[in-house]
Amino acid sequence: MTRLLFNFLIFPGFLFTAIVGLIASWIDRKVTARIQWRVGPPWYQPLIDLVKLSIKEITVPRSASKGLFFLSPMIGLSAVTFVSTLIWLVNIDPVSKGFSGDIIVIMYLLTLPAIAIILGASSSGNPLASLGASREIKLVMAYELPFIICLIVPVIKSHGLLRLSEIINYQAVNGSFIASLSGIIAFIVMIFCMQAKLGLVPFDASEAETEIMGGALIEYSGMLLAIFKLTKTMLMVALPLFLITLFWQGFNFLSIWKYVVLLVIIVLIRNTNPRVRVDQAVRFFWGKMTLMAILAVLLAIKGM
C-alpha cells in the first residue's frame, strides 16, 4: 500500500509528471517566444506562475453550483495523474505492470480533463463560460471519434492485445507499428487529436481569450485555476507518452528524443496555424481525420 501511494504521488506519479510537464511547458513558451522575436520566460517561470495563482484568493460566483465548481478541477487532475502513473510504470517495467484492458481504461480517463472543464464551466453560471463549455462539448465529440478509431490499429496489429505492456513487448519483437503504413497514418491522426485534447491552437476555441475572455475558465481563479493549468501541463507529458507507447515501441530514458520530437510537433502546430472555428474543427475531425483513421484500420486488417 505504501509503495502504491509512493508511485501515485511521487515517482513516477503526480510530482514527477508535474515537473516534466513544467519543463515541457517552458520549452513550449520559450520556443514560441523566439519564433515571435521575443526573449521568452526563464526556465522557472511556469512554476512561478502556478505558485502565484495558488496563493491568490479563490472567487466563486453567487450563481455557481459551488460543489461542482470546486470538484471539477480535482476530477481532471486525478484522471491525468492516474493515466500518467500507469503509463510511466508500464514503460519502466513492461513485464509485470499494467492490467488487462488498461488501454480502454486510459482511453476513458483521457476524456475526463475535458469533461471536468465542461462541468466547471457549466456550474459557474457565467454565459461566456457556458459558451466555452458548449464549444468544448463539440470539440470532444469531434476529435474523440478518430482518436478511438486509431486506438483499434495497434490492437489489430498486435492480434487483439489490450494491455499496454503486452503491446510494448510485441513491438520489441516485431518492430514498431509506426514503421508500417497503417501505423504511421494512425499516428499522424493521433497527433492532431492530441493537439485538440491539449486545447492548444488551432483547437483552443473553448478558451479563446481574444473572443470570449477565457471562456470555460473565465470564472476560475486562485488555486482552482492553478489546478486546471497544472492538469493541461501534465497532459503535455501523458498524451505524447501514450502515443509513443502504442505506436513507437514504448519509452525509456534513452529514447527521450521520441518525446522531444512530439513536443516539437506540438509547438510547430501551435505556432503555424490560426485558431479554427468549432464548425471547421468538427468538419476536419469528422471528415479528413476520420477517413484517415478508417483507412488505417483497413490497412491494419490487411497487414500493412
User: How would you class 241 by CB atoms within 10 Å of its CB: exposed for 0-12, middle for 13-18, buried for 19 or more?
Assistant: buried
Distance CA(146)–CA(148), nearest Å, equals: 6
Provide mean pLDDT across the span 221-247: 95
Residue 4 scores a pLDDT above 70: no
SS3 content of the chain, % helix, strand, coil (to 5): 75, 0, 25
Every domain of the chain and the residues it spans: 2-301
User: Residue 99: what pLDDT?
Assistant: 74
Query: Does residue 17 surpass a pLDDT of 70?
Result: yes
Residue keyed to cell 477565457: 214
Give the integer Cα–Cα distance in Å for 147 and 186.
9
Rounded Cα gap, residues 263 and 64, in angstroms? 37
pTM metric for this prediction: 0.93
- Specify whether the CB–CB gap between 103 and 162 falls below 8 A: yes
Grid cell locating 303: 497487414
Name the residue among 137, 140, 145, 105 with its Cα closest to residue 119. 137
pLDDT band for position 47 (cuts 50, 70, 90): very high
Range among 3-12, 84-93, 274-283 with highest mean pLDDT value:
274-283
Q: How confident is the model at residue 84 (pLDDT cuts 50, 70, 90)?
A: very high
CB 304 within 8 A of CB 180: yes
